[in-house]
């Protein structure tokens, strides 16, 4: 089975092309996100995959070049920034690393559990609190620090915010406002809440493709080292913590099923992307805007499940 990932050239390309063909039908069983109106305009039948090995080799199939917004995959980068700028014990006084059985935008968790701290950095409240922990003279500086980290991880300085999606999120983000203002009322975040939310909405609205998130994942797979340049972007300990939290929390309340069926650290976004990490081997980026009821790409999940089985990628 593992030999599938040791193929070269045309054989390897035929393999990933076959994965797309075998799993595209799943896109008809999901639905695009509509609570952010601009995301409702996405084509539900898109499905793509990019793979980047830790030594920089890449291969792609399907709609891998189709643009989509990173959405909650940005939470991984924000969490990295918060870890780099705070020691772990200090950070966990604000954000825990506990999984949740509730949805990614749950308010009840903040009210009833964990002394009002977000349960983890991979849900909305935790990501908002993470931005507040990143160092910077003001909120714009914090945004730029995380955005620069995203560009460095993707190996693409030309990444940009999708203005239409950003404005759509900002207009309709009342649940996130409720989370942020509640956290301000309990002292978890301080300062101007609207500025904090603006940074959060912009980071979620960065436009990427499958290749971008596969390279980002490969940085984590190689413990913080870029597969494209060999540069150390962050340290091994930060990579270890982030991969652990992705494993237990990265797919929202579907994280347990993802661990069983795919078995890799992963992070999804409602734009249809999933970033998956095969430690010391490869990073994988998939995209399929048609989502399951928990907000994860249905076709992308199935793609990763088949790839993991074929190449024996599960860490368990």
* Catalytic site positions: 72, 75, 200, 252, 270
Q: Return the closest-CA partner of residue 296 out of 143, 73, 51.
A: 73
Q: Return the closest-CA partner of residue 290 out of 262, 268, 306.
A: 268
Residue 189 CA to residue 40 CA, distance in Å, equals 31
Residue 266 CA to residue 285 CA, distance in Å, equals 10
Burial of 117 (0-12, 13-18, 19+ CB in 10 A): buried
Instruction: State how beta strands 58-62 and 48-53 pair.
Output: antiparallel
CB-based contact 311:264 (threshold 8 Å) = no
Q: Return the closest-CA partner of residue 254 out of 300, 198, 196, 306.
A: 300
Cα 161 to the chain's mean position, in Å? 16
Tokens in use for 126? 């935790």
CB-based contact 286:24 (threshold 8 Å) = no
> Phi, psi at residue 85, to the nearest 5°?
-100, 0
Dihedral class, residue 191 (left if φ above 0, else alpha if ψ from -120 to 50, else beta):
left
CB-based contact 181:49 (threshold 8 Å) = no
Residue 116 CA to residue 109 CA, distance in Å, equals 8
């Amino acid at each position: 089975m593992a030999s599938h990932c040791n193929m070269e050239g045309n054989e390897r390309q035929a393999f990933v092309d076959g994965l797309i063909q075998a799993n595209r039908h799943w896109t008809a069983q999901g639905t695009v996100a509509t609570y952010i109106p601009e995301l409702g305009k996405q084509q539900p039948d898109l499905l793509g995959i990019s793979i980047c090995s830790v030594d920089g080799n890449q291969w792609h199939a399907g709609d891998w070049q189709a643009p989509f917004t990173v959405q909650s995959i940005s939470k991984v980068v924000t969490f990295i920034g918060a870890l780099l700028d705070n020691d772990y014990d200090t950070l966990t006084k604000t954000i825990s690393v506990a999984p949740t059985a509730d949805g990614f935008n749950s308010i009840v968790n903040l009210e009833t559990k964990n002394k009002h701290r977000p349960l983890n950095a991979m849900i909305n409240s935790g990501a908002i609190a993470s931005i507040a922990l990143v160092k910077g003279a003001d909120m714009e500086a914090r945004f730029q620090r995380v955005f620069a980290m995203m560009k460095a991880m993707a190996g693409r300085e030309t990444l940009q915010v999708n203005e239409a999606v950003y404005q759509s999120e900002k207009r309709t983000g009342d649940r996130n406002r409720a989370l942020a203002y509640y956290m301000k009322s309990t002292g978890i975040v301080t300062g101007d809440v609207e500025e904090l939310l603006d940074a959060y909405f912009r980071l979620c609205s960065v436009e990427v493709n499958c290749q971008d998130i596969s390279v980002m994942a490969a940085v984590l797979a190689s413990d913080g080292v870029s597969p494209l340049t060999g540069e150390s972007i962050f340290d091994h300990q930060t990579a270890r913590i982030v991969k652990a939290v992705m494993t237990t929390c990265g797919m929202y309340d579907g994280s347990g099923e993802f661990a069983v069926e795919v078995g890799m650290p992963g992070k999804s976004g409602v734009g249809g992307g999933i970033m998956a990490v095969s430690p010391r081997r490869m990073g994988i980026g998939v995209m399929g805007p048609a989502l399951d009821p928990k907000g994860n790409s249905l076709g992308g999940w199935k793609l990763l499940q088949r790839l993991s089985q074929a190449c024996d990628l599960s860490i368990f």
